[in-house]
Amino acid sequence: MRPFEPHLIPDFMLDILPYLSVTLGVTLATVIFGCVLGGIIAYLKLYGNKLQRLLANAYTYSMRCTPSIILLFIVFYGLPKFLIEMFDYDINDFNRAFFVIITFTLLFAANISEIMRAAYIAVDRGQYEAAVSVGMSSWQAHYRIVFPQAAVIALPNFGNSLLNLLKEGSLAYTVGLVDLLGAGELIVARAYGASALEVYIAVGLIYYGIAVALEKICLHLEERFSPQKIVKV
């Protein structure tokens, strides 16, 4: 058994870092699509009819109860078969990132819908009523008064969900996506398991650095847009 060689860790980090763009790209795409889908679900929870609210809540509940790895396999293996059988459309040659983004968009949307809903409810209704009373339209009152305050309220939980998404996204290597962890797995495989510990430490340090950076950004935004700095009507 080879001894632990910590001096190799920086070299492995340099070998793995080029794949950082894959991890960040998948995460960014997931956040964008997840926020759009989550916003729709949150709207249905707040303003939909009884059936729409029931379906939106059922979706959130089911996604929260489904392990990420299970949903990833269902999407990766099940979606191509479904599209072939129903529409005779083959997506087996699509980039692995496509399936990863779909999977984590579904999961992220469930969490973000609850964050959006709770943040919207937390804004004092009087803020909206005061804005409308001074001549703003309903859209202007929401866009200029309600949404900025709701965004600040949602920011801490959004940051936590973003960090969880980043960590959960490391499961993408299980379907063949070569991201940070996937690159590390390739290095370990080429070396027949040698220096595996050093490789995984290198991957972990990169993820740690990203997580710390995201946390600092979120904390800065929280301080920058604190409630005291939001102008109320």
Block means of pLDDT (10 residues each) for the chain, length 233 residues? 85 95 96 97 95 96 94 96 92 94 97 95 88 87 88 92 94 94 93 89 96 92 70 43
pLDDT of res. 137: 86
Work out the number of other CB atoms within 10 angstroms of the CB of residue 147.
16
pLDDT of res. 177: 94
- Which residue range forms the structural domain that includes residue 222? 6-229
pLDDT of res. 227: 61
Q: How far is CA 154 from CA 43, 115, 137, 167, in A?
A: 15, 6, 24, 20
pLDDT of res. 231: 45
Q: What number of residues does the chain have?
A: 233
Looking at beta carbons, which pairs linking 212-221 to residues 24 or more positions away fall under 8 Å? 214/159, 214/162, 214/163, 214/166, 215/159, 215/163, 218/155, 218/156, 218/158, 218/159, 218/162, 221/155
> Which candidate, 184, 185, 201, 196, places its Cα nearest to that of 2?
196
CA torsion sign for 89, 90, 96, 100 is positive
76 falls within a domain: yes
pLDDT of res. 225: 77
1 falls within a domain: no
Question: Residues with Cβ < 8 Å from 194, sequence gap 6 or more?
Answer: 2, 188
pLDDT of res. 4: 84
Instruction: Report pTM.
Output: 0.91
Q: What is the domain count for the chain?
A: 1
pLDDT of res. 230: 47
* The residue type at 2: R
| Residue 97 DSSP label | H
CATH number of the domain encompassing residue 115: 1.10.3720.10
